[in-house]
Structure 1
Amino acid sequence: MIHVWLGACLRSTHWNVGGTKQARALLTQADQGTVLALWHRSLTLAPALWFWARAIEPRVKLRVLISRNADGRLIADAIRPWGIIGIHGSTSRKGKDKGGAAALRVALRELKQGAFVAITPDGPRGPAEEVQPGILVLSRISRRPIIPLGMACNSIRLPSWDGLTFPLPFGRGSVVVGEPLLEPDTETLRVALNAVAKQAEANVRNQNLSVMDRLWGGVGSLLAPALTIMLRVRLKRGRELPDRLRERMGLGGGHRPKGTLLWIHAASVGETLCARPLLDDLLEKRPDLHVLFTTATVTGAEIVSRHPEFGRRVSHRFIPHDVPRWFGRFLKRWQPDGAVFVESELWPGIIAACYRKAIPVVLVNGRLSDRSARRWKKAASLTGRMFSRLSWVAARGPEDAAHFRSLGTKAVYEDGDLKQDAPPLSCDFAELERLQAVIGNRPVFVAASTHPGEEELVLAAATLARKKQPDLLTILIPRHPKRGEELASRFDLPRRSVGQEPNNKAHGWIADTLGELGLFYRLATCCFLGNSLAGKGGGHNPFEPLRLGVPTATGPLMENWREAVNLLHDYLHIVKDIDSLSQWITEPHVTPSPAVLQRSVVSRLSPRILETLER
């Protein structure tokens, strides 16, 4: 009955085996001869580790040191059908021989023959979590390392001296494999065993779905039909690709490549460009690494598709919506070894699903504004676990880092803004030369990524500036190119998207195309960054124009870029209204040095990501 119950419970439990790759690999190597240590309360869970190891390497052999009393013989009989052989004996006490010496000789012989020998250092009668000398003697004489194991699962604790774990079926389980210890002392082994045991128990607590996890998943499932309709609407508007719509539901083709697979997710164009230097560095450092890159937008997918390794070591998929069934399909198909999210892409259901499958999730270039932090805190009862489940966060600076820590993230680094590592924006240099000939020697003021309500202010400032510079040409680049037709009609200006160009009399030009920001920055005498002078604001990337040596101004509403504004205070000019902007346009500018803006954030992130993959 014990055999049947343990088999049913342990095989129906969803187990995750954690620890470094090197430590886990030791448990699947036949003929190594290694000592395994676990507390006595976890003895009933040991077969689960055996099932996992035998599935990978059928030749491994496991022996378990068990006392030779009636209870020990009962346990040995229960586990013997699985090929786990008991070695009977325990440490002698009060001069009474309990077969310890004979068991030691058998264990040494089995180690020499390459078997694993599992021992509970505090068994068979305790005291609980106190290391007895037998395991230390075995390690010293055999000169074999001891691997500490922590094991836990959904279970009840029996009222025995050690609180023996009694597993329950259809639950979650965790095995944490510690680093090998060669001939450790008593205290070193005790501390190591307690550490892995606590980690395993914490993993099970976090893997179990809380009420809020179930609520979030239930809401996602209820919204699935509405999300399907929304996808069809987006398809009609040209914001989805018809042959790839199924990817949003976790379906679609593609096969997981062999070897290590890192999943990188970036929402759209800005985040994808931000992640590009990191992607390149990771591929260079690990020639065997494959990357699955997901985006939420078609424009982001286009950027990924232009990578030189696309179709070989880099593949792309659209990220599924946060619906349990949809995202479950995605994870089942791709089984990534680790996940990297860029900036502020945080979805509680997705992170919970990764955590339950022991997929480490890290956030790079972590961005969390005051407003966003307040919103997350208000929803803490629903999303509180999410931040604690992140393996680590690389925040852009101290303010973002403080927000992540306040929300429960355990490991937070302040590595700086990843956008500092981005290469200069690309440009069609033949087109640049042609437009320079069209414009001639006119001064060019570029207003980039403008939002509704800002174009009026920018053009009013440009009108004032033309009193000092009559031939000033203003190029308006709306954040959303679809607004180009409406802006051109309202202000009576030519549009680039329909082939119109500014003549000598035109004072402005609407640049309503995608992917040409680098071209217009190179035409600029000076530029202004939108989403910073009207409305809610938030700002846009100041590194892009400054990296090209373009004098740059912005409004005061730069909440999303506060760290960058502090860093760039010597190069970035802040204007408050129409008058200050018009005055800045016409005054002499100091050209920033692009070299000063370079800071290698990637060099700190890549090693840490690769180290996380190896854990």
Structure 2
Amino acid sequence: MTFTARVIHLWLGFCLRTTRWQITGTPTRRAALTRSNTGQVIAFWHRHLALAPALWLWARSKEPSLKMHVFISRNKDGRLIADAVRPWGVTALHGSTARRGKDKGGAAALRSALKILNAGHLVAITPDGPRGPAEHVQPGAEALSRIAKCPLTPVGMAASGIRLPSWDRLILPIPFGRGFINPGPPLVKADAATLRDALLDANKDAETQYAQTRRTPIEILWAGIGTALAPALTVMTRTRLRRGKELPNRVRERMGLSPTLPYARPPLWIHAASVGETLCARPLLDALLATDPALPILFTTATVTGGAILAQHPAFGTRITHQFIPHDVPRWTKRFLDRWTPSGAVFVESELWPGIVTELSRRHIPIMVVNGRLSDRSARRWQRWQRFTRSLFSRLEWVAARGEEDAAHFKTLGVRKVYNHGDLKRDAAPLPYDHAEFLRLRDLIGERPVFVAASTHAGEEEIILQAAERARATRPDLLTILVPRHPNRGAELSKRFALPSRQNGQDPDAKMPVFMADTLGELGLFYRLASMCFVGHSLLPPGGGHNPFEPLRLGVPTATGPHMGNWREAVKQLSHSLHIVANTDSLAQWLVAVETFPTGPLPETRLVHALTTTILETLER
């Protein structure tokens, strides 16, 4: 070995060994590169020639019996490169495509390569070398694969380095950087165009993965803010504990500290903020468990009530593990991910935390969003920080939006893949209820028609009670059950309107005109008692609305106000099932004549099946 070749070998080895390499792609593709006794042609662009030894070092560490051979031109530079890489067990095949009738040793090298492939070893080739043009496939790689009847694997690469001003923009790695090697799907009988497209795709994925490891200045700032706020978040968690909003034996989970279960494979992480999102995710959770019987699920929530809903699942404690999501502090997030090492992360609706998304991306854990929700106001707020949001949202593998408007917002913010499957809440299971309590209340109420005003907000109760009073002029036996969205308003409403309330231990009966159900988690019970229903947070601006699918799924005729901004797509889909009322008069008229208004069935959907398939395919990649 010449002095120059030795210097190149030592420096290149130092750079490659101090670079943090990650071999990406599916387990099948990675395994194919280390399979002995199976000849295979490896193709990568010429600009990655100085990075390629990292692939050899990795493959040899997995399978020591492998032998590596690489096509290198027989000119002076080619011989220098061959000398530099020979100590790593890489043997050069000197030869390249003939030009202008001049033999460059390609035929002899081809015969040698065929013998090597038939012996079950690997042969690497740069389809655009040795003189280019860059990314232009020359004859050789696909011909060698076809003659040898062995697969041709395109490999993409990206790494921290310096690009030289050569025809191929050769990349020289630098010490202590990051690098990615991304094998594409093996090709059989590929032509030049197919090989070029496959190489471009493999390199695009590798470069995207590399770009996602680089934090923007704003992401660094966010991480600093999270670290600085850690003491305050600890105090806040203790305060929530005193108020009953945290569980005493699980406070440490907010800091990423928890025992892990010995799963046979990494779990899929699903996160839902609270009760509504947990119920929304339930059919998807069931479908994933049924489709992949060996898949473990790590399910996190932000609230205790969300965790209580999940605890009712029959697979809870076996295939499903519940944790509280840690606060978005870098050290706590890393602890959490180090403990659980999920294979993928699925976020329900819009519960995205920048620090968690960034750390998942740096670990190349695919980030998926189902039932993606982004209101006009939220979209405008994100767009004010366009540079930051583009970096954040581009890290998402894909988003399955609730509807066209949400999909458009996510695309504007930089999400690469956006699906518009529809609202997952259409497929959610009916709200739970206590059947014995339902029978008891049904006996107390008798055959009276029951109007349930659900999830009402301040200012709506007056309108609803006035409309119910007018309706009783025609339907004197009408019972109105008021269910405020926030039960802590119950005492104030009970006093203002002189209403008997469930919180005070009272029950509805066969005569009272109005009853207030100011308890938590019993909406499913009162929907089943209802003859008709109104869904609140929709009568007064700005409103926003609540879930209209819940009562309609139970066959209850349902009305809402006109201010359903958070449910615009659902209102369009439910145009034949959902009635819109604007004020006291129109609500009273609907209560009197509700049986004459059309109430069609909920539209059928295969959304859960589509999402399940997409999630599992993403994990395979």
Aligned letter for 2:169? G
Q: Which residues in structure 2 correspond to 1:418-567 (within 5 Å)?
A: 418-534=424-540, 536-567=542-573
> Could you tell me whether the CA contact under 8 Å between 1:10 and 1:167 is conserved in 2?
yes
Please list the CA deviations of residues 282-305 of structure 1 after superposition, one character each: whole Å capped at 9, or x if unmatched. Answer: 111112222211111111111222
> Could you tell me whether the CA contact under 8 Å between 1:34 and 1:117 is conserved in 2?
yes
Aligned letter for 1:449? S
Q: Secondary structure at the match of 2:153?
A: strand
- 1:414/1:85 CA distance change after superposition, 3 Å: same
Q: Tell me whether 1:32 sits opposite 2:45 in the alignment.
A: no
Please list the CA deviations of residues 73-112 of structure 1 after superposition, one character each: whole Å capped at 9, or x if unmatched. Answer: 4333433444333334334445555443443333223222
Please list the CA deviations of residues 41-75 of structure 1 after superposition, one character each: whole Å capped at 9, or x if unmatched. Answer: 10111132234444555554433223344433433
Match of 1:302 in 2: 308
> Could you tell me whether the CA contact under 8 Å between 1:549 and 1:594 is conserved in 2?
no
Match of 2:358 in 1: 352
Distance, in Å, in 1 between the alignment partners of 2:502 and 2:14 is 68
- 1:456/1:11 CA distance change after superposition, 3 Å: farther
Q: What is the count of residue pairs matched by the alignment?
A: 615
> Could you tell me whether the CA contact under 8 Å between 1:547 and 1:594 is conserved in 2?
no
> Could you tell me whether the CA contact under 8 Å between 1:548 and 1:594 is conserved in 2?
no
Cα offset for 1:277? 0.7
> Could you tell me whether the CA contact under 8 Å between 1:16 and 1:358 is conserved in 2?
no
Match of 1:249 in 2: 255
Match of 2:11 in 1: 5
Match of 1:229 in 2: 235
Q: Tell me whether 1:369 sits opposite 2:384 in the alignment.
A: no
Shifted more, 491-500 versus 576-585: the winner is 491-500
Match of 2:592 in 1: 586
Match of 1:166 in 2: 172
Aligned letter for 1:207? T
Which residue of 382, 387, 391 corresponds with 2:397? 391
Cα offset for 1:263? 1.5
Distance, in Å, in 1 between the alignment partners of 2:14 and 2:461 is 68
RMSD: 2.3
Distance, in Å, in 2 between the alignment partners of 1:332 and 1:85 is 39
Aligned letter for 1:421? D
> Could you tell me whether the CA contact under 8 Å between 1:264 and 1:339 is conserved in 2?
yes
Distance, in Å, in 2 between the alignment partners of 1:195 and 1:152 is 13
Shifted more, 411-420 versus 190-199: the winner is 190-199
Aligned letter for 2:372? G
Aligned letter for 2:540? A
> Could you tell me whether the CA contact under 8 Å between 1:550 and 1:592 is conserved in 2?
no
Match of 1:119 in 2: 125
> Could you tell me whether the CA contact under 8 Å between 1:290 and 1:314 is conserved in 2?
yes
Cα offset for 1:274? 0.8
TM-score by length of 2: 0.93
TM-score by length of 1: 0.94
Match of 2:286 in 1: 280
> Could you tell me whether the CA contact under 8 Å between 1:551 and 1:590 is conserved in 2?
no
Match of 1:197 in 2: 203
Distance, in Å, in 2 between the alignment partners of 1:448 and 1:55 is 63
Q: Tell me whether 1:602 sits opposite 2:619 in the alignment.
A: no
Q: Secondary structure at the match of 1:431?
A: helix
Shifted more, 132-141 versus 68-77: the winner is 68-77
Which residue of 140, 144, 169 corresponds with 1:138? 144
Please list the CA deviations of residues 171-192 of structure 1 after superposition, one character each: whole Å capped at 9, or x if unmatched. Answer: 3322222221223222322232
Which residue of 247, 270, 279 corresponds with 2:276? 270
Which residue of 155, 159, 169 corresponds with 1:153? 159
- 1:557/1:79 CA distance change after superposition, 3 Å: same
Aligned letter for 1:176? N
Cα offset for 1:469? 3.0
Cα offset for 1:528? 1.0
Q: Which residues in structure 2 correspond to 1:4-83 (within 5 Å)?
A: 4-83=10-89
Distance, in Å, in 1 between the alignment partners of 2:387 and 2:127 is 41
Distance, in Å, in 2 between the alignment partners of 1:14 and 1:590 is 69
> Unpaired segments of 5 or more residues in structure 1?
none
Distance, in Å, in 2 between the alignment partners of 1:522 and 1:420 is 18
Q: Secondary structure at the match of 1:287?
A: coil
Cα offset for 1:5? 3.0
Which residue of 334, 341, 345 corresponds with 2:340? 334
Aligned letter for 2:616? L
Q: Secondary structure at the match of 2:361?
A: helix
> Could you tell me whether the CA contact under 8 Å between 2:71 and 2:123 is conserved in 1?
yes
Match of 2:320 in 1: 314
- 1:592/1:258 CA distance change after superposition, 3 Å: farther
